[in-house]
Amino acid sequence: MDKFLKVLVDVLSEPSVLIALIALVGLLAQRKSLSDILRGTTKTFVGFLVISAGAGVLAGALAPFGEMFKAAFNVSGIVPNNEAIVALAVNEYGSSTALIMFFGMIVNLLIARFTRFKYIFLTGHITLYMSCMISIILTVSGFTSVPLILFGALTVGIFMSLSPAVVQPFMRKLTGNDNVALGHSGAVGFAVGGWVGMLVKGKKEITSTEKINFPKGLGFLRDSTVSIALTMAVFYVVVALFAGADYVESNLSDGKNHILFALLKAGTFSAGVFVILSGVRLVLAEIVPAFKGISSKIVPNSKPALDVPIIYTYAPNAVLIGFFSSFAGGIVSMLIMAMTGGIVILPGVVPHFFTGSAAGVFGNTTGGVRGAILGSFANGVLISFMPILLIPAFGELGLANATFSDSDFGVVGVFLSGLYNMGGKMFTMIGIGLVLLIMLLVSLRKQNSKAEQASEI
């Protein structure tokens, strides 16, 4: 049984395999030829591996930046990290996590089939992390065996349906269509970025980050690969100088000159972005047509909710601006925490990049350059303070120095622990069921209003 659960987790948490299976089902439902099925499935599979490879390159380039930052400015505290806390918890909660994840995906499909929330969440590793967190919190709340799996799966399925819905208005504005959704654990932060952009756009026509007027001699900066590499080079070199040659060369670069090391990591960062954008173009060219088979025959009108890099191609400049602004929000938040004498959350470079960049893209969509800067800054503040609210739930389990990073983990975790603190297990079960009931009622009301409009016509 344990081996089966391990295989199940391996398959369901691997985005490339999951997306390829979805593409395969969609193409089969459309009764495509064998050659079209093999081509579409394979290109989707390879495309997501390209995205994953690019993300790995990015993470590898960002890791030493975070270490140099901590050494340069002598800061210490908790760095929120999804992978780290899941690795700590999976041995004890692996079985319940796998079952919650599996049945949660089924709940997501049922919600997409029978309600107006037509989003099929396909970012498998995010589903795994959310399932793990929910398993921990419900276990602390006294849930065991069947109730643990049942209410854990319902919570995961609800998250997988509501999270893309929160961002979809901004996705429609960004993409100009309703074909694809965003499936990530930073949806609340992304939406905050979009909302802030709406608030600060002003009365004048907004200036997009992609239409920044560079002086004629700086026209080369319009090439996103060049601008990202040069901008990151400045930041890496400055941080490396503050960290000092001795620290960098002894602990990070294996003796390589610290300036050269910084320049290489900046170039690697830009290369990672380039690889991600290439993979995104490949996947979107295949998954959207393939998904029509699912949306027309299996789950009518459904949309695939894909990982955050799918939006990077729309505003590469906003991606970089969003990262820096979100990181700045994290630094300001860290200083506030240090001055107030509470728990200090250090700005994790990876979560600030992936969530801050998306908040920047949506902030730019609604409020231009100002929206990108302030929207992603707000995301940075949000993902700095939200993790603190989760720490008490994990402290009892020996996980006091680890916490989840993205905004949706905070929202779901605070919701579950808040329900339990207010009224125990029964109140928690009622709260989860009430959310699902509201989703059904909203869907019925929408269907009835459409039927009334049709009858009037």
pLDDT tens sequence for the chain (457 residues)? 567 767 776 776 676 787 788 788 888 888 888 998 999 899 888 887 888 888 788 778 878 888 888 888 787 777 787 776 776 676 678 778 878 888 898 899 899 999 999 999 988 888 888 998 999 899 988 898 899 999 999 999 999 999 999 999 999 999 999 989 999 999 999 999 999 999 988 767 777 888 877 666 655 556 667 877 888 888 889 989 999 999 999 999 989 999 999 999 989 988 988 888 788 778 777 877 777 777 677 788 889 999 898 998 899 889 989 999 999 999 999 999 988 877 888 888 888 988 999 999 999 999 999 999 999 999 999 999 998 888 777 655 555 566 788 999 999 999 998 899 898 899 999 999 999 999 999 888 766 555 444 444 4
Cα–Cα nearest to 310, from 287, 331, 290 = 287
Contact 100, 151 (CB under 8 A): no
Q: Residue 121 is inside which H or E element, if any? A: strand 119-121
Contact 154, 100 (CB under 8 A): no
- Other C-beta atoms lying within 10 Å of the C-beta of residue 430: 13
Q: Residue 386 is inside which H or E element, if any? A: helix 349-395
What's the token pair of residue 143? Answer: 């849930």
Sign of CA dihedral 369, 406, 8, 303: negative
Contact 329, 377 (CB under 8 A): yes
> What b/e readout covers 49-62, taking b as 16+ CB neighbours within 10 angstroms?
bbbbebbebbbebb
**d(C-alpha 412, C-alpha 430), whole Å:** 15
pLDDT at 215: 65
Contact 306, 183 (CB under 8 A): yes
- For strands 181-182 and 303-306, give the pairing: parallel
Domain extents in the chain: 2-452
**First CA to last CA distance, the chain:** 57
pLDDT at 455: 46
Instruction: Return the SS3 of 222.
Output: helix
pLDDT at 456: 47
Contact 135, 9 (CB under 8 A): no
Contacts (Cβ under 8 Å, ≥6 apart) of 302: 112, 113, 118, 119, 120, 291, 294, 295
Residue 359's Cβ-count burial label (10 Å; 0-12, 13-18, 19+) is: buried
pLDDT at 203: 66
**d(C-alpha 73, C-alpha 85), whole Å:** 25
Contact 239, 262 (CB under 8 A): yes
pLDDT at 216: 62
- For strands 181-182 and 119-121, give the pairing: unpaired
Residue 263's Cβ-count burial label (10 Å; 0-12, 13-18, 19+) is: middle
Contact 241, 223 (CB under 8 A): no
Sheet of 119-121, strands arranged across: 119-121, 303-306, 181-182
Q: At what angle do helices 82-114 and 145-175 cross, to 10 degrees?
A: 80
Contact 304, 120 (CB under 8 A): yes
**d(C-alpha 20, C-alpha 18), whole Å:** 5
Residue type, 367: G
**d(C-alpha 175, C-alpha 245), whole Å:** 45
**d(C-alpha 137, C-alpha 155), whole Å:** 12
Contacts (Cβ under 8 Å, ≥6 apart) of 339: none
Contact 44, 20 (CB under 8 A): yes
Contact 380, 330 (CB under 8 A): yes
Residue 236's Cβ-count burial label (10 Å; 0-12, 13-18, 19+) is: buried
